Amino acid sequence: MKGLWMGTGSTNPKLASLKNFFRLLAICHTAIPDVDEETGKISYEAESPDEAAFVIAAREIGFEFYKRTQTSVAVREYDPKTGRKVERVYTVLNVLEFNSARKRMSVIVRNEEGKLLLLCKGADSVMFERLAKSSRGFEEETKNHVNDYADSGLRTLILAYRELDEEEYKIFNHKFTEAKNSVNADREALIDDMAEKVERNLILLGATAVEDKLQEGVPACIDKLAQAGIKMWVLTGDKMETAINIGFSCCLLRQGMKQIIINLETPDILSLEKTGNKDAIAKASKDSVLRQITDGKALITGPSGTAETFALIIDGKSLAYALEDDMKHLLLELAMSCASVICCRSSPKQKALVTRLVKSGTKKTTLAIGDGANDVGMLQEADIGVGISGVEGMQAAMASDVAIAQFRYLERLLFVHGHWCYRRLSSMICYFFYKNIAFGFSIWLYEAYTSFSAQSVYNDWFLSFYNVFFTALPVAALGIFEQDVSAASCLKYPLLYQEGMKNLLFGWRRVLHWLGNGFYTAIVVFFFCSTALQHQAFNPDGKTVGMDVLGGTMYTCIVWAVNLQMAMTVCYFTKIQRGLIIYCLCMLYLFFLAFGSLSPSMSTTAYKLFAEALAPAASYWFTVIFVIIAALLPFFAYSAIETRFFPMYHQMIQRLESGRHDDDPEYCDMMRQKLLQPPTSVGFSARLAARANKLRRKNKNQNQPQYS
């Protein structure tokens, strides 16, 4: 800008404050410059995008930060007198780092004239109270600007400074060094206490505002999450006005939604804060928060509250009191009655505490998603942590269970991969129960039949290979490849996600169904086989069935039944799944032949069992076919009745995808209506529905006859 902002020469009366403002932006940070040797351009590696934006803004104005050492920073400053840039070096003496409790950072530097300067930037909630009484000339004007910025959805900071005298700095530096070198448990508290003492009587320079732009697809993703019945809370460090604007932009808030705002910006609290009586302030603040929570609950439970939609908005100061043990459950009850919850100006610790409160108080599965280092505690406290890797750094991604690149990818992560994984795991575990109960209970039935003689009906190698070669691979493929509906349908019908939320596929009813199916299969296999082969000639020689033939026949029926049960269970029949089922059935007969050909000392009861006893006997093949049909018929009938008359969400979608009812539009419309999510309270769908209802009411009132 070539210094035009400074005015002509030095006639601008605020020139010194303007220079100090941009000088603070160029010095008070922890960014590292990276100079391109070929082009000479400077880029910055900063802890946050905001910090990098401040340094770049100062450079564009004429204060270019270009070099950092362990003890100094170098800045090229524009000189209005000469019209040139002057290189100035500032010796960095101390850095008072930012943390969630302080909500500000400061540096103490010595300039080339030997003056000691404390440069500080931080949140308005902690900066205005540290200003000197003599430097509050444009405090109200700055507050108005900050509020205007926040109303526009911008993220704000306050900038201030002061000069230190040598004696004051020596005393501070001595105590500050002692605190940093302390090895006590309260080391951090000592450091914060020393910073608190020096960060006072500041001179206000101004405020900054940075756009916190939403990523692409955030409102649409939030709308889909709401349609799936997922309740969303926003935990942010932004000002209340900024948080409210972000809530409107992402459709968590809408016009007509009653806002329950809990803060401590009341005249009584503000007047108490001026007195400095901390005990009185704490007591009055706690009473005020409790009263506001109670009033909010009364508003919701009142006669007019049942027809309204509410949003809870609470700031960080109020949240500190609301999260105390005697009040947090009241806060949770109020929040759960609201459609949207926004916690603004919340620290990382408060984010983690709110997450813990929701997780322990509701007994629901919680998912936290964040993109910055201040979200790490929340991500680790939630049942599932999703980190967004991007301009905010990789801290959140590294501390999370799952990392994604943008918020909108959460839609596919939950609705597609989340549903598929739930389907695969629940089906795989239930099938494991089924196949092992069917096998194990058939052994127990034979033991009971033989008065518990301790003689197993199956050969020892049959027992060993059942879960290794004959039934293991198809169920592994089920857990990897299963897809009950397509990805497009998962995204089109968010209601499908409620199968997991309601635990429909892995509830006790579902598990007991599979257990009962396993017991039934074992009973059919044992009693049908033993009855069919009893008291009759098994081969042309007139020989009757022995334990070895009975065991081989039962084993064949079990393996066929559980593998065909797998074929009936699978929804996504890939070539791999089909090939593994066929492989297991072929392996059964290859094993019979190979193992039966070994010497009797090794094969024992299986010696020549299949080649000489089972395969030539027609009764063996008829028994196997009959038993398999009898074992699978109830499951087939149950599935057919359930799918036709009592379909679950995924079964409805499967029938629509199959196209078998395209010639019956009435049935298709009925299925689609069942898959529609009831009206939601948040999201742009709810916003459109509210506008439509408003127009309908308006038209209805206009069409009513007027009586004079």
Q: Output the known binding site for ATP.
A: 51, 98, 121, 155, 236-238, 345, 351, 374-375
| In contact, 88 and 75? CB cutoff 8 Å | yes
Query: What residue type is 530 in one-letter code?
Result: S
CB under 8 Å to 43, separation ≥6 — which residues? 33, 34, 36
Distance between CA atoms of 432 and 434, rounded to whole angstroms? 5
Per the structure block, which two tokens stand in for 32?
A: 């590292």
Amino acid at 690: A
Q: How far is CA 523 from CA 235, 364, 516, 519, 635, in A?
A: 56, 39, 11, 6, 15
- Residues making up the annotated binding site are 51, 98, 121, 155, 236-238, 345, 351, 371, 374-375
Residue (of 17, 169, 20, 18) closest to 96 by Cα position: 169
Q: What six digits make up the tokens of 496?
A: 């499908």
Q: Is 610 left (phi over 0), alpha (psi -120 to 50) or beta?
A: alpha
Burial of 95 by CB count in 10 Å (0-12 exposed, 13-18 middle, 19+ buried)? Answer: middle
DSSP readout, 367-387? Answer: EEEE-SGGGHHHHHHSSEEEE
* Residue 543 CB neighbours (<10 A): 12
Which neighbouring-strand residues pair with 161? 119, 203
| Residue 93 contacts residue 108 (beta carbons within 8 Å) | yes
Cβ-proximal residues to 179 (8 Å cutoff; 6+ apart), any chain: 187, 190, 191, 193, 194
- For 238: left if phi > 0, alpha if psi spans -120 to 50, otherwise beta; the answer is beta
CA distance 492 to 265: 44
Would you list which residues are annotated within the binding site for Mg(2+)? Answer: 371, 375
Residue 410 has a CB neighbour count (10 Å cut-off) of 22
CA distances from 309 to 255, 331, 336, 552 (A): 10, 17, 12, 67
Q: Do the beta carbons of residue 342 and residue 237 sit within 8 Å?
A: no
| 3-class state of residue 190 by DSSP | helix
Strands 84-96 and 104-110: antiparallel
Q: In the chain, what's the furthest Cα-to-Cα distance?
A: 124
Q: Give the list of residues 6+ apart from residue 157 with CB closer than 8 angstroms, or none.
A: 50, 121, 122, 123, 124, 207, 208
Which of 57, 75, 161, 70 minimizes the C-alpha distance to 112?
75
